[in-house]
């Protein structure tokens, strides 16, 4: 029996939370993984070690994906150390402490926009260059991680964060149409209340437990549940799906 060809994925923001869970899920399905991270070298290397224990290749690449020169360096590292890209998972993002719009300042707004939006555009640009059949690529998939906040607005807490995720939704729609004829499928997951460290970044580590009773399913979600949806969208099993949104949000 012939071996299934290796697939290669870049996952941004993969040292923790949904990104880390997705790295392990894709590795379990036979992908070699680039674990992109910004600050936590130790956590990123722990994920690499776990991926290698699954029998896959992995590299950890420190890069600020809101900066084009660093995105170019990230993708070149994958070209050189892993091989031909198949999948990009855009996951990197930040959240600032809960606040009303009237208390936002320019620095907060612009930092969120560059980290949560510019990074996705820059990574998509490099991925499309490699995946497009128009430029000699073999096709592939892009999965953008948005948020249920893009639909709900996050009033009194994070409307700036929600707005950045609304931009990602629009990017998904537009880019999916732009490259559908070039062998590239672009889809999106919108997680809801998921148990990750991001809530601690927002100043309320217990936010999921405070709000979970408002959900039809009456519970928060796990990062692994989001990773399962991402893995399906990245795979050939979703071969007729592009420009879609998968809600992983407990019914809300």
CA distances from 33 to 11, 165, 191 (A): 7, 25, 22
- For residues 188 and 178, what is the distance between their CA atoms, to the nearest angstrom? 15
Q: What is residue 220's DSSP assignment?
A: P
- To the query of whether residue 240 is one of the catalytic residues in this protein, the response is no
- For residues 131 and 136, what is the distance between their CA atoms, to the nearest angstrom? 8
CA distances from 7 to 30, 32, 33, 137, 164 (A): 7, 6, 9, 14, 30
Length of the chain in terms of residues written? 252
Residue 8 CB neighbours (<10 A): 21
| Cross-sheet strand order for the sheet of 140-145 | 58-62, 31-37, 7-11, 87-90, 140-145, 184-191, 245-248
| Residue the block writes with tokens 């990230």 | 74
Q: Torsion angle of alpha carbons 52, 55, 61, 66, nearest 10°?
A: -120
Q: Which of 120, 158, 161, 195 is catalytic?
A: 161
Catalytically annotated residues:
161
């Amino acid at each position: 029996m012939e071996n299934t060809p290796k697939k290669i994925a870049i996952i941004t923001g993969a040292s923790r939370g949904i990104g880390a869970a997705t790295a392990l899920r894709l590795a379990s399905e036979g992908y070699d993984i680039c674990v992109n991270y910004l600050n936590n070298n130790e956590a990123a290397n722990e994920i690499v070690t776990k991926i290698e224990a699954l029998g896959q290749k992995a590299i950890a690449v420190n890069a600020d994906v809101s900066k084009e020169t660093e995105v170019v360096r990230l993708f070149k590292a994958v070209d050189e150390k892993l091989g031909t890209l198949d999948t990009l998972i855009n996951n990197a993002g930040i959240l600032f402490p809960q606040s009303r719009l009237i208390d936002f300042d320019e620095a907060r707004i612009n930092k969120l926009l560059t980290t949560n939006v510019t990074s996705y555009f820059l990574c998509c640009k490099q991925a499309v260059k490699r995946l497009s059949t128009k430029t000699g690529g073999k096709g592939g998939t892009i999965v953008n991680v948005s948020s249920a906040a893009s639909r709900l607005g996050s009033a009194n807490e994070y409307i700036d964060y929600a707005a950045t995720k609304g931009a990602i939704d629009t990017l998904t729609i537009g880019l999916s149409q732009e490259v559908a004829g070039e062998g590239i499928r672009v889809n999106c997951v919108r997680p809801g209340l998921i148990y990750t460290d991001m809530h601690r970044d927002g100043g309320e580590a217990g936010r999921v437990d405070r709000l979970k009773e408002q959900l039809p399913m009456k519970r928060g979600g796990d990062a692994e549940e989001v990773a399962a949806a991402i893995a399906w969208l990245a795979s050939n099993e979703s071969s007729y799906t592009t420009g879609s949104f998968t809600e992983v949000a407990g019914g809300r």
